[in-house]
Chain A
Amino acid sequence: MQNTGINLIFEGQNLARILQGLLITARVAFISIFISLILGFIFGLIYSSKNKIIRFFCRLYLELFRIIPILVWLFIFYFGFPELLDINIDGEVVALIVFIMWGIAETGDIARGALESLPKHQRESGMAIGLNKIQLYRYILLPQAFRRILPGTINLATRMIKTTSLIVMVGVMDVVKIGQQIIESNVLKVPDASFWIYGLIFFLYFIICYPLSKYAKTLENKWNK
């Protein structure tokens, strides 16, 4: 009987290898989300400054990542910088750098929006009872801002996870690359390999991203009331 593609998934090491690739993808996503959340919050604090010059540069930084596609950024760091500085940068490092820089920009914008959306009297009441700046942020502004940024940051996280599929283009052995290898080595034996393997990867991305975006939506609905 002819081998059908669905068996290919469970043949030998295939499933284990795909999950290993998924782990690399997840590692890139997790590290970049984690770091960009922390640094992004700081960036948001700077961005919410009243100083026009600071705001201009923050806006410029944000727009650079908004306007130019992420894949272009990956190319710049993967092909451009190594030649410029005469060093060798690993694809995974390139991916981390780009994702973190992008994540900082987006998280910063979300945090700024949240901080600025807080009613003015919160800040003023805090100052009226004699809190200093650190206390003001620690006890009044940040706890309230945090609630407002959570749905946005979860959505950003799903976007970043989806974008990790691009890192195959800078030579990272991620889940897509391993899927390609399995398909290539079985193409003669199993003609419909690509249907099942890509279908599996499609499904894997979906089961990771779907709960996250569902959760973000639930939070939004809950807190908007």
Chain B
Amino acid sequence: MTKVIPLYTKALILTLKLASLGIIFSIIIGLLCNILLSKENKILTKIIHGYIELSRNTPLLIQLFFLYYGLTKFGIKLSETTCAIIGLSFLGGSYMSEALRAGIEAVHNNQIESGLSLGMNKWQLFRYVILPQAISVSIPLIGANAIFLLKETSVVGIIAIKELMNVTKSLIGIYYKTYESLLMLIVFYLIVLLPMSILLTLLERRLRYAEHGN
């Protein structure tokens, strides 16, 4: 048991690293999608909707296989880690984009018009009217997506990344330590996922309170 703990700690750190990079890039992609959508260019909108539907309606596993094995023959050779991060960002980007859009759409039009009639410029309008209201809707969704992405990292082990699932599988295969490995697997996932989901529940409650306030 004590021998495998360092292995799992290392795997957990790798999992967290992949997840946090994936989450950050997903948010960036989500922001970018929303900025481009707000341009109301027909072709751009079509492309972005196409991307969102494509990434939401296909499994991460297939996306990873396609990236990792499919593209190699065209001279695009990506390392496992890069592949995992691209895969997670490709998947998460659409979810984050929807989460951010839900926030922006929750701001009523008359709020924006009132702001404009007060003589606010675009930046002020965004900073003082849209952002504070949008955040109370978006943050819980972003949090839920972050947890979702962290859970999805369990899939990337299939392209030979030594994260928690991969380590567990090799421990079961090599040493037949089934119980210990499965137990450690659950414990290590719970260490991060449990506090995250409790925090999200608390945050949701708080923000819902803020929402009712206005």
Question: Which positions in A face B, CB cutoff 8 Å?
Answer: 63, 66-69, 71-72, 75-76, 79-80, 83-84, 158, 162-166, 168-169, 176, 183, 191-192, 194-195, 198-199, 201-202, 205-206, 209-210, 213
Tell me if B186 and A210 are in contact (CB < 8 A).
no
Interface SS of chain B: helix, strand, loop or mixed?
Answer: helix
**A158: contacting residue among B57, B69, B168, B194, CB under 8 A:** B57
Tell me if B194 and A67 are in contact (CB < 8 A).
yes
Interface SS of chain A: helix, strand, loop or mixed?
Answer: helix
Tell me if A72 and B73 are in contact (CB < 8 A).
no
* List of B residues within 8 angstroms of A166 by Cβ: 59, 61, 155
Range, interface on chain B: 35 or more
**B66: contacting residue among A68, A79, A80, A202, CB under 8 A:** A202
* List of B residues within 8 angstroms of A169 by Cβ: 158
Closest chain A residue to B164, Cβ basis = A72
Tell me if B59 and A83 are in contact (CB < 8 A).
no
Interface centre among A72, A166, A191 (most CB of B within 10 A): A72
**7 A-B interface contacts by CB (under 8 A):** A71-B154, A72-B189, A79-B182, A84-B179, A164-B59, A192-B74, A195-B70
Q: How far is the CA of A84 from the CA of B165 in the complex (A)?
A: 20
Expressed in whole angstroms, the minimum distance between the Cβ of B156 and any Cβ of chain A is 10
Tell me if B154 and A72 are in contact (CB < 8 A).
yes
Tell me if B66 and A198 are in contact (CB < 8 A).
yes
- Report B160-172 CB contacts with A as 1/0, cut-off 8 Å: 0000010011001
